Amino acid sequence: MKLPSNIVIAEAKLRDYLLTQRSEDDKSGFLALAGYSQTNWRQLESDIRQLAGVEEADLISKSQYGDMYELKGCLTGPNGKVLYVSAFWITLEATGETRFVTLVPDKRSNQ
């Protein structure tokens, strides 16, 4: 299924989580391979929105909080490098809002 056009991507999720180096579950190094950084987090947001607009999302689980979706595709970073990713989304049961949760490298495609 296609995600709705009014998806929500929190600035803090990108700038302060995905693009911040962490001792565990770090994704900033992976994203830096394509030129993404805290200073250009808006580019990452734009690229994730573009990905969500063209790729199909698969329902992966249901819970009392909402439906979780996985969307696989690629991001072409500011430096032109392509990263294959799995992006995760939740459509909240309480509000119907579809929010970006996180993304991870798609290990099968990045080998």
**pLDDT of 80 strictly over 80:** yes
Q: What pLDDT, in 10s, does the model give residues 6-21? A: 999 999 999 999 999 9
Q: How far apart are CA 103 and CA 59, in angstroms?
A: 15
**pLDDT of 39 strictly over 90:** yes
**pLDDT of 107 strictly over 90:** no
pLDDT given for residue 95 in this prediction = 96
Q: How far apart are CA 72 and CA 79, in angstroms?
A: 21
Residue 15 φ then ψ, to 5°: -70, -45
**Do 53 and 59 meet the contact criterion of CB atoms below 8 Å apart?**
no
Q: How far apart are CA 84 and CA 104, in angstroms?
A: 9
Q: What pLDDT, in 10s, does the model give residues 82-99? A: 999 999 999 999 999 999
Give Cα 101 distance to the centre of its chain. Answer: 7
Q: What is the mean pLDDT of residues 48-77?
A: 97
Quick one: pLDDT band at residue 110, thresholds 50, 70, 90?
Answer: low
Q: Is the pTM of this model over 0.85?
A: yes
The architecture that CATH gives domain 11-105 is Roll (3.10)
- Of the candidates 61, 83, 57, the residue with the CA atom closest to the CA atom of residue 70: 57
> Would you kindly state where each structural domain of the chain is located, as residue ranges?
11-105
Q: What is the mean pLDDT of residues 51-77?
A: 97
